[in-house]
Every structure is written in structure tokens, then in C-alpha cells.
Amino acid sequence: MTTTTVPRLRRARRVVPRPKPTLVIGGLLLLGFVTMAIIPGAIAPYGPNDFDYGAILQAPSAAHPFGTDNFGRDVLSRVIWGARIDMQIALFTTLFPFLFGTFAGVVTGYYGRWLDAIFGRIVDVVMVFPFLILVIAIVAILGPGLSNMYIAVSSVGWVYYARLVRGETIVQKNAEYVQAGKVMGYSPSRIIARHVFPNVVTPAIVYLMTDMSLGILLGASLGYLGLGAQPPTAEWGVMVADGKNFMTTAWWISTFPGLVLTLAGISFSLVGDGLADLLRPKS
Amino acid sequence: MNRWQYVLARLLQMIPTLLVILVLVFFMVRLLPGDPATAILGDRVTDEAVERLNRQLGLDRPIPVQLAIFMRNVAQGDLGTSINLKVPVSRLIAERLPITMGLTLYAGLVAALLAIPAAIVAALKRGTWIDGTIRGFFQVGLSLPVFYVALQLLTVFGARLSWFPVGGIGSSFGENIYYLFLPALSLGFYLAAMLMRNLRASILEVLTAEYVDFARSKGLQPRVVLASHVLRNAMIGTVTLFGLSIGRLMGGAVITETVFAIPGVGRLMIDSIYGRDYSVVQGLTLSFAVVISLVFLLTDLVYTVLDPRTKMA
């Protein structure tokens, strides 16, 4: 009787590419914003709604680096407190679409048939509208405000994730490992959850970061239009709108919140691009 | 299938989608909290007034009957009457849609004029500081909110320097090129950033193709290779992106029109939401869907012209 020795397979070491400097910069910026969102009170010199009628429309100075607005509120402090709302917007406009969209995508992609047909119609309907118009139309029905904005964005945003994941699932469901799972007698739900899902979720994760940057811009835009967060909430879009009538006399009221908003958008998209480079297999 | 049959088939395909949208738009107004008449008139009105408006709007009829009437009216081009402006909604849209479409196309043109040269230079100077600067500039553009760019341009070039009007529209085509320049720039900047990224990447990809090497080895001038071999092929994907982005531009027009006080459909939408003028919101939602469907069809047609290999199926 012969014994064959099976050579021990050495687990291939996964080559992790070094993160690009842009990813590091984006990550650090994002970390800063998250810190501001968690402990604004410890960073901001004043409260977001501390009125000071003795210091109205003051230009940037050592006491007020970003100046004060028409109620004497410290713009820097409001910008810092604004991070709390705007980071919340980035999270809440994307979390549900990501979760539900990924689920819907993997299920429709795997089962196909009538589920796919229904999903196809939903996509047709959603795609012929500009996203902003659709969200505005829904907010028009529900009424302005942050929570209604979340509902509006979520009820449309999941479609984009589902489309992404569905396409990936259709490719993966014919892969050998899925066939093997079927032969092993695994239930469809086990195959989907344990085998297909981990292989199709990457594009959705990559898109999530980009989507957060879009979400934060969308939320601020609705805030600016008066359909999102409502004054006197310290939200960057609302703050830009608050200062718009003072642009020629007190430019700092709108300019600083807008710059910070842009910076937040940049940090999300840098992290998104960097993650895409790291997670996507190189062809 | 020849081109006209294709167009016809695509137009027929639009019908089910538009029917679904029609039904959704119909129920949109019925989903309003409370009854629509109270929502429109406010709380402090008599019951008779509410009843009268309900009758006027046909809201006292059963829902299926209302839907049938709504469908029939829309088919006849009747989108109801604006409660605040006292004009037929279809007339309002006919008056204002061209303004928004003009602004959208203008913004698209500005975006293309910014993005195409930038992408060519960045791709040809790949890895240099020139490439880095161009990419950095447009990376910021991707994250600049439209309302913020619009407000800053308006303040600096409109209010402070007085180079451009601070809002509104002109009375002739030439005047509008001038009046709408800042709005188009602020609206088109985001698209420019997207197009630049996309085109730069596809130029780099095409540059490695064998037919480009072949064209070069034939001894063709670099300029000719760039124009007729590289760009023609690299533009195909960019044209698609451009077409798909028209929808996003129209969405952005809502913001631009609000900042610059341009009387287009975007501003009308916001005004109608504030004014609870729901028949206008309804009509606008519908017309956005129709316009974008047509733009998508047009994009596909341009695509088949640029890339003859595409089958019209």
C-alpha cells in the first residue's frame, strides 16, 4: 500500500497594495469630520445657537476665526456643530439604500424571473427622473425636514445599489462554487448568504463611499432650498442659505460653511476612490 | 432593423413606463396628508369652500373614475390649472421648459468645452505636474455643490465686478448667451469634472490599442492619429455619459434657477411646492420624465452613429 503525501499548500499571501497618499489625506480629513460630529461641544468655542447681539456681522478675527452672522452667532462653531448634522446626512441617506439595495439586488439577481421583471420596471421608472427632482417631488408630498428627506432619498436610492449588485450576482450565480453548493444540497438562502453575497458586495461597498459624498451634497442642497434641515439648525447648506443675502457685506457667513462642505465631499470621494483601488481586483 | 423602425420601437417601449409614472403621479397628490383641498386652501376655510374645490378638482368622484378622467385629460394635453397662477399647467410648462432646456444644453456645452481639452492635455501629459493639476482641479469640481458655486459666481462676477447680470434672463438668443453664462458655468462644472475623468481614462486606454500603434507606424502625423483614431474612439463612452448626465443637469437646474432667479421649470417646481400648487408639481414631474426618456433615446442614436458596430436591437 502506497501512501501519497499531499504537499502542504501554503496559503498564498494576499498582496495588499500600499494605500495611495490621496486615500491617506481623505481618510485623515474624514476622521477630522467624524471627530467634529461626535464631540462638537469639546471643539467649538461657542454653542451653535448662542446669540450675541453685541457682535453682529463681525469679520473674521482672532475671537471669531470665521466671523459672526447676523445674529452674532460664531460661524466657526456653527460649522463644527454642522458636522454632526451633515455626517448624519451622509450616513442616513446611504445606510438604508445600501442595506436594502444590496439585499434586493442579490435576491433578484439570483432568482431572476418575475422578481427581475418587476425590478426592471422599477428601474425604468426611477431612471427617467433626475434623482434630485424625484427626491424633491417626494419631499413635496411628505413636507420639508430632515426625516422626510431621509425617507425620500432612501425610497429611491436603493435602486442604484440593487442594480449594481444584481448585475454582479448574475455573473456569479453560474460560477462553479455556486454549482458546487447546489450539488452539496445547500439551501438557496445559505448559498446566497454565505457564498454569493460576499462575492458581490464589494462594488456596493465601493459605491457606498462615493454615494456618501453625493448624499452629503444632496442633503446640503435640499437644506439650501429650504426642503431639508430647517433653520436655525446648524447644517452647512442651511448656513449657506442663511448668509446668501449678506454675500456682498458679510461674505464669511456663507463662504466658510460652503468650503467646509466641499472639503467634506472631497474627503468622502478621495476615500471612495482609494477604497476602489484597494478592493477592486486588478485586471 | 433600420433607424426609423428602431426609433419607433423605442418610442413604443416608453409607453408602459410613462403609464406607470402617470399612475404614480396621480396617486402622488392623493397621498397628501389630509384631503388635497384642505392642503391647498389651508386650515382656515369654510367647509363649503373645501367642498367646492373638491368638486372642481373632481375629487368627490370614486378613485378609478378620477384616474380615468386624469388619463384622458393628460392624453389631450390637459394637465389641469395652476391654482396660484390661474393658468393652464400645460401652458406654463410650454413657456418655461425651453428656458430650462436651453440652460441645460448651454451647461452641457460649457462642460464639454472645459472637459475635452483638459482631458486631452492631461492624458498626453500623463504623470506630470500638468496632469496632476488638471486632475486636482476637477476633483474639487466633483465635490463643489452647485448652489455654492452659483452663489459665489453670482457674488463675485455679478454683484462685485458687475461683469454679468445678477439674475433673470435676456430677451433674445444673443442676450441669453450673456445672461445665462454664469448659471451655465455653475451647472456645467460638475459635469465637466465627470467628463474629464471619464475621457482621460478612455484616451489612456485607447492610446495602448494596436490600431493606434499601426496608425503611428504608418507615419501619420500625431495630430491626425489623435483626432481621427484616438479621440473618435475615446469619445464613444463619453457621449453616453454625457447623455445620461442630462438628467442630472436638469435636476441641478432646479438649484441654479433658484439662485439666479431664472424663470424655468426648475424654479417653477420649487415655487409650486412652497405654494402647494400640486397640479403644477404633478405636470412638471411628468414632463421631466418625458424629456429625459427622449434624451436617452437621442443618446442611443448618437451612439449608433459614432460606433457603427452597435446593433440597433
Residues 6+ apart with CB under 8 A from B240: B299, B303
d(CA B249, CA B195): 13
Say if B186 is an interface residue toward chain A (CB within 8 Å): no
Averaged confidence pLDDT in chain B? 85
Contacts of B250 in chain A (CB under 8 A): 130, 133
pLDDT band at A2 (very low <50, low <70, confident <90, very high): low
Say if A215 is an interface residue toward chain B (CB within 8 Å): no
Cell of A29: 480629513
pLDDT band at A10 (very low <50, low <70, confident <90, very high): low
Residue type (1 letter), A254: S
Taking the model in full, what pTM does it have? 0.86
Query: Residue B145 is nearest to which of A140, A248, A262, comparing CB atoms?
Result: A262
Task: Kindly identify which residue of chain A lies nearest to residue B250, measuring between CA atoms.
Answer: A130
Query: Residue B258 is nearest to which of A225, A255, A268, comparing CB atoms?
Result: A225
The predicted structure's pLDDT at residue A79: 94
Residues 6+ apart with CB under 8 A from B172: none
d(CA B206, CA B227): 12
Residues 6+ apart with CB under 8 A from B203: B119, B120, B123, B124, B230, B231, B234
The predicted structure's pLDDT at residue B39: 66
Predicted confidence (pLDDT) at residue A281 exceeds the cutoff of 70 = no
The predicted structure's pLDDT at residue B67: 87
d(CA B124, CA B13): 42
The predicted structure's pLDDT at residue A9: 61
Q: Tens digits of per-residue pLDDT, B10-30?
A: 888 888 888 888 888 888 777
Say if A280 is an interface residue toward chain B (CB within 8 Å): no
pLDDT band at A15 (very low <50, low <70, confident <90, very high): low
> Does A258 contact B152 at a Cβ distance shorter than 8 Å?
yes
Contacts of B293 in chain A (CB under 8 A): 128
The predicted structure's pLDDT at residue A283: 44
Task: Kindly identify which residue of chain A lies nearest to residue B156, measuring between CA atoms.
Answer: A248
d(CA A210, CA A39): 25
Taking alpha carbons only, the member of B281, B294, B293 closest to residue B89 is: B281
> Does B145 contact A248 at a Cβ distance shorter than 8 Å?
no
Q: Shortest Cα distance from A245 to chain B (angstroms)?
A: 10
Predicted confidence (pLDDT) at residue A131 exceeds the cutoff of 60 = yes
d(CA A266, CA A263): 5
The predicted structure's pLDDT at residue A44: 87
The predicted structure's pLDDT at residue A27: 93
Cell of B288: 421631466
> Does B16 contact A121 at a Cβ distance shorter than 8 Å?
yes
> Does A248 contact B159 at a Cβ distance shorter than 8 Å?
yes
- Across residues A147-152, what is the average pLDDT? 94
> Does A265 contact B142 at a Cβ distance shorter than 8 Å?
yes
Length of chain B: 313
Q: Tens digits of per-residue pLDDT, A44-88?
A: 888 888 888 888 888 898 888 999 988 889 999 999 999 999 999
The predicted structure's pLDDT at residue A89: 95
CA atoms within 13 A on the CB side of B308: 0
Q: Tens digits of per-residue pLDDT, B277-294?
A: 888 988 998 888 888 888
Taking alpha carbons only, the member of B29, B25, B60, B24 closest to residue B276 is: B29
> Does B155 contact A247 at a Cβ distance shorter than 8 Å?
yes
Cell of A185: 444540497
Say if B142 is an interface residue toward chain A (CB within 8 Å): yes
The predicted structure's pLDDT at residue A3: 59
- Across residues A158-163, what is the average pLDDT? 92
Contacts of B285 in chain A (CB under 8 A): 129, 133, 137
Averaged confidence pLDDT in chain A? 88
Biggest alpha carbon–alpha carbon distance for chain B? 85
> Does B143 contact A247 at a Cβ distance shorter than 8 Å?
no
Contacts of A254 in chain B (CB under 8 A): 148, 151
**What part of A 220-239 touches B (C-beta under 8 Å)?**
220-221, 224-227, 237
Q: CA B164, B168, B172, B175: dihedral to nearest 10 degrees?
A: 0
CB pairs under 8 A between A and B: 124
Say if B93 is an interface residue toward chain A (CB within 8 Å): no
The predicted structure's pLDDT at residue A105: 92
Q: Tens digits of per-residue pLDDT, A219-238?
A: 999 999 999 999 899 999 99
Say if B82 is an interface residue toward chain A (CB within 8 Å): no
> Does A269 contact B139 at a Cβ distance shorter than 8 Å?
yes
Say if B137 is an interface residue toward chain A (CB within 8 Å): no
Say if A283 is an interface residue toward chain B (CB within 8 Å): no
Contacts of A126 in chain B (CB under 8 A): none
Point out the residues of chain B with pLDDT beneath 70.
1, 32-36, 39-40, 43, 310-313
Query: Residue A130 is nearest to which of B16, B250, B274, comparing CB atoms?
Result: B250
CA atoms within 13 A on the CB side of B230: 27
Biggest alpha carbon–alpha carbon distance for chain A? 98
Q: Which residues pair with B90 in a beta bridge?
A: none
Contacts of A213 in chain B (CB under 8 A): 142-143
Q: How many CB atoms lie within 10 A of CB A195?
A: 18
Say if B304 is an interface residue toward chain A (CB within 8 Å): no
d(CA B38, CA B53): 9
Query: Residue B139 is nearest to which of A129, A220, A266, comparing CB atoms?
Result: A266
d(CA B93, CA B283): 8
